[in-house]
């Protein structure tokens, strides 16, 4: 029976993993920043030894994309240096490692879905620190380890676009939402289930990179429109351009991920984004 440490357990993906883990024959340990400092190697080694961990799912991340522009050291400590430390320990102790990364490692200028082999060129501090974390993991190269890049994550847990739209849709008559950023949402529960499903089948000598999001393609505007439609909220969604909504960090204009590799290697079926949104809204009690 795998003994699994899940870091970032109070985040969206970590919370979904907690919810679903009861359906699997795994012994799971959930750690957040208050129970395990993943920037401290001694703390990590002690935790792994105490709980006899043989698998790590690293969901911990600094994800405040705009704040990262001014909190560079903190973002680097969590997204890069902590990943390097976890990877070094995983290799030394022969521990399986699943690390979660992001579409922000790309520049967002592509014209077709990004594959795992496409060159990275992050455009901000968040993307750069996540990319550095990937590079550290690839360089140390522990066996039985993978990186999963994902995009536009939402969940019934935590703060995210879906919950923000529901709140604002109840408060406002109209909203402006960006239409010139294109990608695919990821329901964190779908990703969590995929991770738990494929975990026993991760057996590779070198680190493998995978992409995962729900199926389909849309803009944030399309996403907001569908949220309002499913929740039957009267709020009007108006399309706006990125230049009309400036942010400290640059967002990718195009972040569609090619998921052929993960589907091929593990034989998984990825749900369509509207079906997953429907499930999330039902879990929130907002599907009308």
CB 12 within 8 A of CB 157: yes
Which residue range is the domain that position 260 belongs to?
3-159+184-215+255-271
Are the CB atoms for 19 and 68 separated by under 8 Å?
no
Of residues 76, 73, 72, the one with CA closest to residue 84: 76
Q: Are strands 96-102 and 153-154 parallel, antiparallel or unpaired?
A: unpaired
Q: How many CB atoms lie within 10 A of CB 23?
A: 9
Active-site residue flag, 126: yes
Q: Which pTM value belongs to this model?
A: 0.96
Q: Angle of helix 220-231 relative to helix 161-171, nearest 10 degrees?
A: 60
By the 8 A CB rule, do 253 and 220 touch? no
Q: Are 128 and 273 in contact (CB under 8 A)?
A: no
Burial readout 70-93 (b: 16 or more C-beta within 10 A, e: otherwise)? eeeeebbbbbbbbbbbbbbbbbee
- Put residue 14 in one of left, alpha, beta given phi > 0 → left and psi -120 to 50 → alpha: alpha
Could you report the per-residue pLDDT of 148-167, keeping only the tens digit for each? 999 999 999 999 999 999 99
pLDDT value at position 288? 84
Confidence of residue 1 (pLDDT cuts 50, 70, 90): confident
Q: How far apart are CA 65 and CA 163, in angstroms?
A: 18
Residue 31: inside a domain, yes or no? yes
Through-space distance between the first and last CA atoms of the chain, rounded to whole angstroms = 41
Higher pLDDT, 111 or 160: 160
Tens digit of each residue's pLDDT (9 = 90 or more) over 196-234 = 999 999 999 999 999 999 999 999 999 999 999 999 999
Does a structural domain hold residue 278? Answer: no
Q: In the 8-state DSSP scheme, what is residue 216?
A: S
Please report whether residue 228 resides in a domain: no
* pLDDT at res. 120: 96
Looking at the predicted structure, is the pLDDT value of residue 36 above 90? yes
- Does 237 map to a domain? no
> Per residue in 240-280, pLDDT tens?
999 988 899 988 999 999 999 999 999 999 999 999 999 99
CATH assignment at residue 259: 3.40.50.720
103 inside domain: yes
CA distance 236 to 152: 22
Assess whether pLDDT exceeds 90 at residue 124.
Answer: yes
Q: Which residues of 225-241 are buried (b: 16+ CB within 10 A; e: fewer)?
A: bbbbebbebebebebbe
Active-site residue identified among 47, 62, 126, 187? 126
Instruction: Render pLDDT for 3-25 as a digit per residue (tens, 0 to 9).
Output: 999 999 999 999 999 999 999 99
Secondary structure of residue 27 in the 3-state scheme: strand
Longest dimension (CA), the chain: 57
pLDDT band of residue 133 (cuts 50, 70, 90) is very high
Q: How many domains does the chain have?
A: 1
Residue 230 placed within a domain: no
With a CB cutoff of 8 Å and minimum separation 6, the contacts of 189 are: 16, 19, 20, 155, 156, 276, 279, 280
pLDDT reported for residue 7 = 97
Give the chain's radius of gyration (CA, Å).
19
Output the average pLDDT for the chain: 96
DSSP string, 117-176: TSPP---SHHHHHHHHHHHHHHHH--TTEEEEEE-SEE-SSSS-HHHHHHHHHHH-SEEE
pLDDT, tens only, 67-100: 999 999 999 999 999 999 999 999 999 999 999 9
DSSP letter assigned to residue 11: S
């Amino acid at each position: 029976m795998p003994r699994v440490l899940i870091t970032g357990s109070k985040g969206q993906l970590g919370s979904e993993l907690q919810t679903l883990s009861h359906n699997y024959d795994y012994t799971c340990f959930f750690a957040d920043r208050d129970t395990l400092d993943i920037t401290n190697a001694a703390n990590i080694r002690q935790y792994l030894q105490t709980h006899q961990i043989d698998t790590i799912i690293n969901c911990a991340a600094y994800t405040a994309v705009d704040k990262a522009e001014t909190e560079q050291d903190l973002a680097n400590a969590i997204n890069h240096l902590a990943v390097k430390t976890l990877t070094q320990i995983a290799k030394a102790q022969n521990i399986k490692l699943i690390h979660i990364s992001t579409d922000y490692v790309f520049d967002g200028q592509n014209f077709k879905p990004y594959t795992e082999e496409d060159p990275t060129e992050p455009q901000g501090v968040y993307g750069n620190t996540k990319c550095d974390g990937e590079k550290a993991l690839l360089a140390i190269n522990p066996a039985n380890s993978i990186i999963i890049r994902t995009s536009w994550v939402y969940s019934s847990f935590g703060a995210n676009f879906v919950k923000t739209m529901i709140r604002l849709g109840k408060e406002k008559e109209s909203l402006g939402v960006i239409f010139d950023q294109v990608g695919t949402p990821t329901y964190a529960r779908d990703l969590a289930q995929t991770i738990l499903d494929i975990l026993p089948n991760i057996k590779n000598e070198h680190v493998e990179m995978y992409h995962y999001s729900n199926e389909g393609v849309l803009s944030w505007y399309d996403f907001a429109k569908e949220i309002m439609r499913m929740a039957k909220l009267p709020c009007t969604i108006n399309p706006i351009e990125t230049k009309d909504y400036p942010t400290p960090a640059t967002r990718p204009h195009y972040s569609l991920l090619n998921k052929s590799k993960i589907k091929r290697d593990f034989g998984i079926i990825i749900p369509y984004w509207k079906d997953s949104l429907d499930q999330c809204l039902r879990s929130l009690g907002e599907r009308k």
